């Protein structure tokens, strides 16, 4: 009877065990995650875990990884999944069993050349562990797509910020170019701001020399950058591909044979860009940039460099035009001296300064003797020649601070700031002697001697305003004419001062 009870109890336990197994299988197989249960395999002596034995797994595991579709119950982890030892997962599993802490990570493997991402979670289960594998490939794909989109957006923002900074600097260049008074100002403005726009580049600005327009000689007028120039400081137009082709020339170290001849060849040059400076069909110079980094001059940077070159060329053209107009408005076209209008403005300004500073200011009136005879005897061309030759002597004989003008007709004038009566008189005598020493000829035949008469007045002895000083100097000039020409005559207020220095005054005309 006891035996019957044991059989019945055993049968009941087997039934419950089968039901529990069916229930466990149902739970495992209903999960969308792959699940594996392992038991620890320990060394008999040290009791350290040396492997894990596969106890059970579900169908989802085979769907996640086809190599496990048939299950691996009874097999060992290191044999079936050797990569777990190589990538450190085995050590992590040991830590889960020994420490009882949850372990999570992400792993990736290729299936049919496509990446499959799994989220791995390991938890302690008795003297073993349970590992779940969840497919997160779609999430990873979306995450990567979002990351890529975010990276692209960040790159576009960075590019936009860079362009905005470039536009602000370009606006700054234009502002300074508009305020520039000379072409040198314009060149130095660009050279000063270029490092902010092209930090990895060095460069030079070249100007076509005014006396070399036909030959196209260029000279360096500005440089910038941390590297010494690799381009010659002066060269001919034919040495530059950009000038020969009349448009920008970009070359990097992959095409060393196309570097311009004005650039020294060497491994330090990664990229070079030459851009002609031209406006309204006229060549003005060259903008050159270069860098040891072959990627420093990107398309955007080259486009910016072309824009700067256009703005610089236009500014230089306007400055040259302004200078030409100012020259025409202030200078006499025949002699190159300042004209009467400029003389009157300058004299008013210098008189005010002399009065404020309590200094002298001298005026020398000059009239070429018998000028009408040169026109009547030799023609107006010779008359113009005489006037030009005499006019050229004035800047040579005067100080840099002095002003030489054409007063009208054959009359010239010089203004000498901060010059005493003695200095003005001596300067007038020097000019008279230099004019009398001129040797002019027509068709290799000498023409008659050129002489001039002089009248001198000085502020404040001879007057305190422009009209009075000019009138007094003009009266002295007419006295020189009436007393034989080719001589210097002083305003009456100066005679006593000069005779004290030069008792022989007034010198008689050599004629």
For residue 141, tell me if it sits in a domain: no
For residue 510, tell me if it sits in a domain: no
Q: In CATH, what number is assigned to the domain containing residue 103?
A: 3.30.450.20
pLDDT in tens, the chain (511 residues): 555 556 666 666 666 555 555 554 555 665 778 888 999 999 999 999 999 998 888 878 877 777 776 667 888 988 888 888 888 899 999 999 999 999 999 988 877 678 889 999 999 999 999 999 999 989 888 988 999 999 888 888 877 777 788 788 888 888 988 888 999 999 999 999 999 888 889 999 999 986 544 456 899 999 998 877 788 889 998 999 999 998 899 998 888 788 898 988 666 788 999 999 998 888 899 999 999 988 889 998 999 999 999 999 999 999 888 888 887 888 898 999 999 999 999 999 999 999 999 999 999 999 999 999 988 888 888 999 999 999 999 999 899 999 999 998 899 999 999 999 999 999 999 999 999 999 988 777 888 899 999 999 999 999 999 999 999 999 999 999 999 899 999 999 998 888 888 887 876 555 5
Residue 363 is predicted with a pLDDT of: 96
Residues spanned by the domain of 48: 31-135
Please say which residue of 279, 298, 324 terminates a domain.
Answer: 324
Q: In CATH, what number is assigned to the domain containing residue 165?
A: 3.30.450.40
Asked if 240 and 120 sit in the same domain, the reply is: no
For residue 144, tell me if it sits in a domain: no
Asked if 289 and 349 sit in the same domain, the reply is: no
State the pTM of this model: 0.60
Asked if 188 and 216 sit in the same domain, the reply is: yes
Please say which residue of 104, 135, 166 terminates a domain.
Answer: 135
Asked if 103 and 162 sit in the same domain, the reply is: no
Please say which residue of 324, 355, 385 terminates a domain.
Answer: 324
Residue 97 is predicted with a pLDDT of: 92
Q: What CA–CA distance (Å, rounded) separates 55 from 74?
A: 6
Name 230's Cβ contacts closer than 8 Å, sequence gap at least 6.
202, 263, 264, 266, 268, 269, 272, 290
CA angle 86-90-96, nearest 5°?
A: 150
Buried b (16+ CB within 10 A) or exposed e, 31-60: eebbbbbbbbeeeeeeeebebbbbeebbbb
Q: In CATH, what number is assigned to the domain containing residue 458?
A: 3.30.70.270
The 3-state secondary structure of 23-59, one letter per residue: HHHHHHHHCCCEEEEEEEEECCCCCCEEEEEEEEECH
CB atoms near residue 511 (< 10 Å): 10
Asked if 306 and 173 sit in the same domain, the reply is: yes
Asked if 348 and 490 sit in the same domain, the reply is: yes
Q: Are 475 and 494 in contact (CB under 8 A)?
A: no
Asked if 491 and 459 sit in the same domain, the reply is: yes
Asked if 313 and 164 sit in the same domain, the reply is: yes
Radius of gyration of the chain (CA): 49
Asked if 38 and 21 sit in the same domain, the reply is: no
CA dihedral 453, 432, 455, 507 (to 10 degrees): -90
For residue 149, tell me if it sits in a domain: no
Asked if 427 and 494 sit in the same domain, the reply is: yes
For residue 344, tell me if it sits in a domain: yes
The DSSP bridge partners found for residue 236 are 217
Asked if 404 and 266 sit in the same domain, the reply is: no
Q: What CA–CA distance (Å, rounded) separates 30 from 283?
A: 83
- For the chain, the domain total comes to 4
For residue 330, tell me if it sits in a domain: no
For residue 332, tell me if it sits in a domain: no
Tell me, what DSSP letter sits at residue 432?
A: H
Asked if 455 and 468 sit in the same domain, the reply is: yes
For residue 120, tell me if it sits in a domain: yes
């Amino acid at each position: 009877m006891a035996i019957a009870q044991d059989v019945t109890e055993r049968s009941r336990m087997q039934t419950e065990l089968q039901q529990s197994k069916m229930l466990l299988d149902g739970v495992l197989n209903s999960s969308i995650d792959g699940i594996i249960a392992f038991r620890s395999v320990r060394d008999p002596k040290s009791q350290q875990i040396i492997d894990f034995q596969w106890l059970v797994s579900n169908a989802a595991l085979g769907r996640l990884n086809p190599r496990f579709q048939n299950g691996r119950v009874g097999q060992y982890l290191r044999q079936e999944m050797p990569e777990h030892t190589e990538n450190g997962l085995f050590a992590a599993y040991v830590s889960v069993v020994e420490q009882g802490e949850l372990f999570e990570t992400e792993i990736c493997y290729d299936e049919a050349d496509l990446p499959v991402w799994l989220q791995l979670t390991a938890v302690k289960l008795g003297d073993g562990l349970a590992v779940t594998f969840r497919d997160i490939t779609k999430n990873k794909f979306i995450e990567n797509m979002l990351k890529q989109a975010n990276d692209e957006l960040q790159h576009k923002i960075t590019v936009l910020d860079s362009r905005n900074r470039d536009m602000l600097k370009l606006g700054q260049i234009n502002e300074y170019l508009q305020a520039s008074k000379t072409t040198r100002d314009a060149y130095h403005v660009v050279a000063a701001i270029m490092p902010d726009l092209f930090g990895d580049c060095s460069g030079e600005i070249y100007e076509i020399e005014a006396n070399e327009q036909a030959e196209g000689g260029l000279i360096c007028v500005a440089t910038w950058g941390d590297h010494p120039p690799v381009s010659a400081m002066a060269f001919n137009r034919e040495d530059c591909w950009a000038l020969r082709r009349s448009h920008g020339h970009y070359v990097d170290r992959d095409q060393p044979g196309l570097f311009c001849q004005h650039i020294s060849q060497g491994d330090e040059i990664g990229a070079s860009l030459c851009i002609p400076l031209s406006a309204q069909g006229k060549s003005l110079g060259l903008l050159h940039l270069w860098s040891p980094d072959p990627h420093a001059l990107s398309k955007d940077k080259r486009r910016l460099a072309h824009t700067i070159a256009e703005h610089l060329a236009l500014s230089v053209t306007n400055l040259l035009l302004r200078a030409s107009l100012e020259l025409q408005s202030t200078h006499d076209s025949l002699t190159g001296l300042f004209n009467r209008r400029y003389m009157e403005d300058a004299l008013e300004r210098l008189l005010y300064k002399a009065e404020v500073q309590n200094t002298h200011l001298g005026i020398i009136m000059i009239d070429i003797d018998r000028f009408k005879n040169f026109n009547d005897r030799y023609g107006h061309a010779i008359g113009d020649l005489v006037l030009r030759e005499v006019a050229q002597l004035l800047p040579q004989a005067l100080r840099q601070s002095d002003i030489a003008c054409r007063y009208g007709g054959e009359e010239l004038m010089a203004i000498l700031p901060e010059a005493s009566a003695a200095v003005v008189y001596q300067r007038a005598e020097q000019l008279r002697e230099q004019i009398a020493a001129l040797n002019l000829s027509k068709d290799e035949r000498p023409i008659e001697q050129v002489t001039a008469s002089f009248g001198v007045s000085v502020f404040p002895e001879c007057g305190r305003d422009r009209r009075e000083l000019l009138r007094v100097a003009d009266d002295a000039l007419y006295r020189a004419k009436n007393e034989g020409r080719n001589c210097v005559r002083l305003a009456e207020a100066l005679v006593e001062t000069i005779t004290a220095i030069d008792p022989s005054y007034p010198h008689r005309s050599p004629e």
